[in-house]
Structure 1
Amino acid sequence: MSDFDWNDERISALRKMWSEGLSATQIAARLGGASRNAVLGKVHRLRLQDRAPGCAPKPKTERIATRKKLQLARPPKPTVKPLVGQAQFARKKPDPVKVAEVKSIELRPAPIDMPKPLLTALIDLGRTDCRWPVEGEKSHMLFCGHPAQPESSYCAGHHRLSVGAGTRSERLAIPSKLMVA
């Protein structure tokens, strides 16, 4: 918090300067010790909206026209020529013939042999039972109940469902991992 106190004298000065059309930054500088945000906050709390004529923001069409004039006034950007040897790093479009020759490898998980859920209540589940919710809501939820995999809350079938296919980069990394191993 700032050490600036809003007394009656400063509030009347704020009202006067705000109605004259001074900006919050200018008012803060003249009051001394107040920040721009402190002035804007006080203006908001006092609900001071009326401003002097001529200090209202420009209509949008004027701002766009001004911006276009500034863009036209700028000198054109110089074109950059590639350095010697950079041409070899330029991206080339793939050869359609070679692309057609590449066979797409589609990795699909092996079919999951899902056991029929035992429909066990949470209170009846053991420490190593599958906690995959099967049906019900809130306190009436029933779970799979089959033996869970080591270091997992789910049986083998539900564990595979919970892991998912992974990200694209993870899926693409699988063949390279197989080649390394």
Structure 2
Amino acid sequence: MDMVNWLPEHSAALQDLRARGLSYSEIADTINATFSTAYTRNAALSRAQRMGLAGLDRPEPSLPGHLDPPKPALPEPPRIGRLREGRAELKSDLLRWPKSFTETVEMPQLRCAAVAPRNLSLFDLKRGDCRYPYGGDADGETMTFCGHPCRPGSSYCTPHFHLSRDPEASTRPVLNDAWLQAIGAI
């Protein structure tokens, strides 16, 4: 990464252009045209963050395909003395903290299977044993498996089979006539 030292007049121009509501791409283009530099959008954004300006409101992006209104011609580059006066006005807006979420969220009722697992390791599982996992959530915690006899056609025992299915979704047929017609099976 190439470290770029911003001259004070470049930083002053950045502050003034950001206060006018220009995007960081437009700011970089304007500074490059004015001072014959080669700043990128990301360089302007990073400098603004270091100056404490990045939290200012962004202008609304234009939608693709719509004509943007004509941009007014930019006046000559800003003077440093004038910007120092305007900087005090921006001070209150510099730090915008993220809004905290204060409303409580009701946790859904968790379902559980009414079966005491045998807690078998992966090596102890035999063909036809339930493979519903237990544990392994924390680092270093071993994962064990239910180990009860499986339901026919499933890798889970009957209580874990029902636990792993959405009761509302499993009552709807998966292959209805409209779906079969769409794929050309009917």
Q: The TM-score by the shorter chain falls in which range?
A: 0.3 to 0.5
Q: Which has the higher helix share?
A: 1
| TM-score normalised to structure 1 length | 0.40
Which protein has greater RCO, CA pairs closer than 8 Å, 6+ apart? 2
